[in-house]
Chains A and B, each alone.
Chain A
Amino acid sequence: MSNLLEVRNLNVKFRIDGGKIFEAVKGVSFDVPTNSTVALVGESGSGKSVSAMSIVRLLPRETAIVSPDSEVNFGGLNLLAASEQKMRDIRGKEISVIFQEPMSSLNPVFTVGDQIAEVLRLHTNMTRAQAWTRAEELMAEVGIPHPKSRMKSFPHELSGGQQQRVMIAQAIACEPKLLIADEPTTALDVTIQKQILDLIAKLQAKHHMSVLFITHDLAVVGEIADHVVVMQSGEIKEKGTAKAIFEAPQHPYTKALLSCRPSVEKRPRRLPVIDDFLRPEGVNQANLIERKRGYTADDKIVLEVKNLSKHFSMREGFFKKRDVPAVKDATFKLARGKTLGLVGESGSGKTTVGLTLMRLHEATGGEVFFEGVDLLKLSENDFTKYKRRIQIIFQNPYASLNPRFTVGQILMEPMEIHSIGKDTQERVNMSMALLKRVGMPEVSFYKYPHEFSGGQRQRIAIARCLTMKPDVLICDESVSALDVSVQAQVLNLLQDLQDEYQMSYIFISHDLAVVKYISDQVMVMSEGAVIEVANSDDIYLNPQQEYTRKLLGSIPKGWQGVAAPAPISA
């Protein structure tokens, strides 16, 4: 098989603040064969996106330096040496790109029809009318219903999945030979992700394109890739056919990546992390023993929620207001030392449930019993002493820590507010102990949040909650923004803390595999309503509701050669 694209010895450096140089990509070489899908896999900072963007020369010109002996051969032409004029011809016609965020990649002031037709008019000799007709065909091809009327829609009128379809239509408009897809499904819900992956696979086969697929998610890779390139900190760790990578990974990093992501089938006591694979003695087998999950009859109930509902009012017209229900009559129980998983697609109201429990949103109706007291009926003053008992960890560790506070200030603030510890010295000692407990060095006490990575920041956020020794901890997508290897570490930490302090978790996530791993009971939500609540093994093996089946069916299966359960048909 001939190669469509050959990347040879690619070196990319960035000038960063203070005249320093950061090597993002170090001597990377790989091929994209004709008519096949190559996946570029790696965690954040691995250089996968930088490699892909340097192929089409879309890196920021002021800061990025591509070393002169790097080569990107595309049909006999070295793209890195080609003229800007030539590159403009190639981009969009021969090679096209789809990005992660469809909303920010589409221009909000033009209709989607215009934007697809624009590509055609730039690269072909089509007239306005011809381009418009062709754009309409493309809209139909990528599966947008009623393409004729949708052509005149503005991007914000389409859903996220439809926007990504428009981006794909734009990308394949000129029948490119190579499609670069940079995390095209990361921002989408799991059901939409499946549709988009299927669409890309279908178009690849139909148009005999090659696809360079960039992702951090190995499960997605297993579904669509023929070849896999694994990258870590700017270097290729392993490359080969998908079969080789998934069935016989050679490099410890690849092995780690494959196993630190929780799967729907297995539930080890602790998730293996990258360090386990780099150690000579390997993974501790004791940690791989299955953990039993589920509520039992003698569980003590900590939190009982009855008919919780929350409506947001939206202004409509001049005087009218419309009630939008975000949560409708949610009823569930949380047992001591157990985890309740909350899953659902975006807009299902799962986060609202968490925020309403903590009274960060005022509930519209319902009761929340904690130690026999209805938390929602308490006055603001009476509720203060319960506040420390229920705590929350937010999704984005970059946003949830005040950037102007040192870690010490962050940890000691809740203790000061709730008068925990008798003086500053005692609080300092307690903070130091907690930092150690979550696996952070004590020096961190004097540092600012921006000096830490995402995983470390999430540990700090966890430590902040622990200062108050809460009974209930709400984890609102707390591991979703983290890389898979870091995700495993944080999940392990949460599990250890639960075993140690007998805390109860409400674990909110869109990631069905993670929820399956960590939860005893799972509650599925859709459009504000609770669809199904059951023990997690029951719900995954034997879903009762149509919606749950559809949701579970959309989980990327990963490499089908490994262990593929019969797909649950929707």
Chain B
Amino acid sequence: MSAVLTNTPTAAPLHQASPGLWTLAWRRLKRDKIGMVSLIVVVFFLLLMLGSYAGIVAGNWSKEVGVSYANPSFMAGAENLDAVKAKVDANAEKIPYVDLSDIDPLAPRYKEWEERTAKIKITETPRSDTLIFGGDKWGRDVLQKAIKGAQTSILVGLVAALFATVIGTTLGAISGYMGGKIGDFLEWFYNIFTSIPYILLILAFAAVFSSSPSLAPYRGVPMVVAILAFTGWTGIYRLIRSEYIKHASREYVKAAQAIGATHSRRMFVHILPNVSHVCLVQLSQHVVQFIKAEVILSFLGLGVPVDSVSWGTMLAEAQSELVIGKWWQLAAAGISMAILVTAFSMLTDSLRDALDPKIK
């Protein structure tokens, strides 16, 4: 907005700033118990994400700390063939060698080799039989994987939703405010876009992006973000467009025109703050949607690469594990996603209520 708020006049008498929209919305949100609990959960996940980004938590998620498919510690006694095998292997070393030196042509060199081997130190971390929430095929800690996966999933969800909202809002604003030929053109574009089934559209984008050599360095998370942002803006576009059509004919916009405000000023200084609550609610709805979409993409193998982890890749791995009864990876990814998505959706609902200008 303009510089009016920042340049508070010094000579102003009785300066009592009134609560604006956001202050009032925050007051209403604070009264909403479900909204506040959801907010705390979401903030917790965001902190977790930041923590893992900075390496404070889940820094060594890729270390193979347990035996393959290590049991969760709350079911330590359960049968685990890999743990048994590891024990058998360890015991096997104690069996004495059979002396074959008289017939072995390489026997004279054994001593030399043994000396050389002794010079190389082998440190093998002891693999634990159980992990807090179990281990995966390579013995990685599922809990840490879930936290690290949250980082990827939330990052993809947030950034993609942000981009989609910016694209949708800009196009919607232009289409709704300008109308006429520009509006028609954008409507056509939108209609063609939405006539393609969603998953097919995502696959098409993924195929194009991943086959183009010039985009190769952006494979992985940036590409998933791009795919989701370019396919997901349509709903936002539609809503913002209708809001702009409604607002463009309002008297305050006409009044702005009468005092000589330019088109872009009317669009983005006058109308945008009046539809910002719609943008915000759409943003948070799309975060939820894109977290789920990332899971689907990764599950289909179009998502994040194999050397990183997301809830989607965890679910994809879990597919084969479930057959042999190792359910914990599925549970960890599923539960954390369910908690975040539910909290985020409820927060969105509360935000919509709190920001609804009609209640005022």
A residues in contact (CB < 8 Å) with B: 17, 358, 360, 384, 387-388, 391-392, 394-396, 399-406, 408-409, 412-414, 416-418, 424-425, 428-429, 442-443, 445-448, 450-451, 461, 464, 468
Contacts and interface: CB of A to CB of B under 8 A. Distances in A.
Interface string B243-257: 000000011101111
Contact of A450 (B3, B260, B360): B360
Given A399-B250, A425-B9, A443-B16, A413 B2 contact: yes
A469 to B, nearest CB: 12
A408 B4 contact: yes
Chain B interface size range:
20 to 34
A412 B256 contact: no
B270 A402 contact: yes
A443 B15 CA distance: 7
15 contacts: A391-B258, A392-B258, A396-B251, A401-B252, A408-B4, A416-B2, A417-B261, A418-B260, A425-B9, A442-B13, A443-B16, A445-B12, A448-B18, A464-B255, A464-B259
B20 interface: yes
A18 to B, nearest CB: 8
Interface string B1-32: 11111010101111111101100000000000
Contact of A400 (B14, B252, B274, B357): B252
A424 B259 contact: no
Given A360-B258, A413-B261, A406 B5 contact: yes
Interface of B: 1-5, 7, 9, 11-18, 20-21, 250-252, 254-261, 270, 273-274, 357, 359-360
Contacts of A448: 18, 20
Contacts of A425: 7, 9
A360 B254 contact: yes
Nearest to B247: A402
A400 B251 CA distance: 4
A447 B4 contact: no
Contacts of B260: 384, 387-388, 414, 417-418
Given A402-B252, A428-B9, 12 more contacts: A358-B258, A360-B254, A360-B257, A392-B255, A394-B251, A399-B251, A403-B21, A404-B21, A404-B274, A409-B1, A413-B261, A429-B9
Nearest to B357: A403
Nearest to A467: B259
Contacts of B15: 446
A10 B2 CA distance: 50
A384 B251 CA distance: 20
A392 B2 CA distance: 23
A448 B252 CA distance: 14
A140 to B, nearest CB: 40
Contacts of A392: 255, 258
Contacts of B14: 442-443
Given A17-B359, A446-B17, A464-B259, A404 B4 contact: no
A60 to B, nearest CB: 14
Nearest to B275: A404
Contacts of A442: 12-14
A522 B8 CA distance: 46
Contact of A424 (B3, B273, B360): B3
Contacts of A408: 4
Contact of B255 (A400, A409, A451, A468): A400
Contacts of A418: 259-260
B184 to A, nearest CB: 13
Contacts of A446: 12, 15-18
Contacts of B274: 402-404
B259 A413 contact: yes
A461 B12 contact: no
Nearest to A423: B7
Contacts of A409: 1-2, 4-5
B20 A424 contact: no
A44 B9 CA distance: 37
B259 A417 contact: yes
Contacts of B17: 446
Nearest to B259: A414
Contacts of A417: 259-261
Contacts of A404: 20-21, 273-274
Which among A388, A401, A403, A442 has the greatest number of chain B C-beta atoms within 10 A?
A: A403
* Chain B CB within 10 A, most for which of A391, A401, A445: A445
Question: Among B12, B14, B259, B359, which residue has the most Cβ atoms of chain A within 10 A?
Answer: B259
Max chain B Cβ within 10 angstroms of own Cβ: one of A388, A406, A418, A468: A406
A396 B5 CA distance: 26
Given A360-B254, A425-B9, A445-B12, A406 B4 contact: yes
Contacts of A394: 251, 254-255
Q: Sort A-B residue pairs by CB-CB distance and give the 4 closest, nearest first.
A: A404-B273, A400-B251, A414-B259, A399-B251
Contacts of B5: 406, 409
Nearest to A394: B251
Contacts of B7: 424-425
A406 B21 CA distance: 11
B259 A402 contact: no
Nearest to A17: B359
Contacts of B1: 405, 409
Nearest to B1: A409
Given A412-B2, A448-B20, A468 B251 contact: no
B230 to A, nearest CB: 30
B248 to A, nearest CB: 12
Contacts of B4: 406, 408-409, 412, 424
Nearest to A449: B252
B258 A387 contact: yes
B354 to A, nearest CB: 12
B173 to A, nearest CB: 15
Interface centre among B5, B12, B357 (most CB of A within 10 A): B12
Nearest to A395: B251
A442 B259 CA distance: 23
Contacts of A384: 260
Contacts of B259: 387-388, 391, 413-414, 417-418, 464, 468
